[in-house]
Amino acid sequence: MPSFINPFNDMKTNSFFNFNRFGLYIRQDLLLNRNKYLLMFAVLVITVYLLLVYQISNSSQGFILPSSPNQFHILNGSGYSTLLVEIMIGLLGAFIGTSFSDMGKKATSTNFLLLPASIFEKYLYPLLFRGVLGAIVFILVFWIDAQMARWTLMDTKTFVMNRYEIIPFKLSMLFDETAEVNILVTFTLISIGMFLLAVPLFFRKLAFIKAVLAFFILFFSVVLCFVGFSHLFFPETKGFDVLLGIYKISIGLRNVDVYFLSIACVSWLFLMFMGYFKLKEKRL
């Protein structure tokens, strides 16, 4: 019996995602904005290098091999991973959060929505280019700048006189902590990135700045909620102290970590769909 292909289903799928059309959309964006992206890349390289030099020079714990037993139990090389997380939240978050920065202007918003690509493709592109590829580029730039910062400082007077040995940064340092902590940090970064991608679509002017303010308002609202529960269940609580029964579930994992891990692992999915439907709503 001959099989038949429903042309209407094929047309519907093609209108949702087409590989060739998606490739042309990427090509068009890179041709139009290549100078902007190259400038951003140059600023990233210089900024990360200066931050590493400043941090290693002024707070070397976590970047050097201690000459005496480490009384504070700071892991060797932990300074790199901490600084990398801070840079990715700040700089990579800004790069992702400005994906739809022109949506507040009616003319540019209309032109963007009329481009020959589906809403799904327009939403998928910043997820892949700014989110996934951006994270890979940030890590590679950090690795290169970390080596350059080490070569810059290792022969300076302060480090030579104190016999400090600067630890070279290795990608394996990102996985030195326990698996639970790595999962929490990874999903937290993904959720923050999705928040900064999706929430600006709800604002017209100064969308990224308003999204950052909304993030801090939400964060402090959660903290105030914890403070309220602390006063409710623990009357001895004073001021803005938070009293929680903290206990270990496994090595490096506490009940508080499970709470934040559950939020981080779920919220990015909700934010991803919320942003897509908000962008689709703008076309209607």
User: What integer pLDDT is reported at residue 283 of this predicted model?
Assistant: 72
* Statement to judge: residues 237 and 275 lie in one domain: yes
CA pseudo-torsion sign 250, 79, 134, 96: positive
* Statement to judge: residues 213 and 97 lie in one domain: no
Rounded Cα–Cα distance for residues 152 and 78 (Å): 20
> Domain boundary at 118, 135, 168, which?
168
* Statement to judge: residues 12 and 127 lie in one domain: yes
User: What integer pLDDT is reported at residue 179 of this predicted model?
Assistant: 61
The two three-digit tokens of residue 139, written as one number: 């890590």
* Statement to judge: residues 61 and 83 lie in one domain: yes
* Statement to judge: residues 150 and 193 lie in one domain: no
> Domain boundary at 147, 168, 189, which?
168
Number of structural domains in the chain: 2
* Statement to judge: residues 83 and 216 lie in one domain: no
User: What integer pLDDT is reported at residue 71 of this predicted model?
Assistant: 46
* Statement to judge: residues 56 and 126 lie in one domain: yes
Rounded Cα–Cα distance for residues 28 and 197 (Å): 21
* Statement to judge: residues 135 and 270 lie in one domain: no
* Statement to judge: residues 81 and 215 lie in one domain: no
* Statement to judge: residues 122 and 1 lie in one domain: yes
Beta strand spans in 143-215 (E) = 165-166
User: What integer pLDDT is reported at residue 102 of this predicted model?
Assistant: 72
Q: What is the pLDDT along the chain (284 residues), one digit of tens a residue?
A: 444 445 545 455 567 788 899 999 999 999 989 999 999 999 999 999 999 999 988 877 777 776 555 544 556 667 888 889 889 989 999 999 988 877 767 777 777 777 788 889 999 999 999 999 999 999 999 999 999 999 988 877 777 676 778 888 888 777 765 566 677 788 888 999 999 999 999 888 888 999 999 999 998 998 888 888 888 887 777 877 777 777 777 666 677 777 777 888 889 999 999 999 998 888 76
* Statement to judge: residues 225 and 92 lie in one domain: no
Question: Which residue range forms the structural domain that includes residue 147?
Answer: 1-168
Rounded Cα–Cα distance for residues 25 and 249 (Å): 48
* Statement to judge: residues 204 and 126 lie in one domain: no
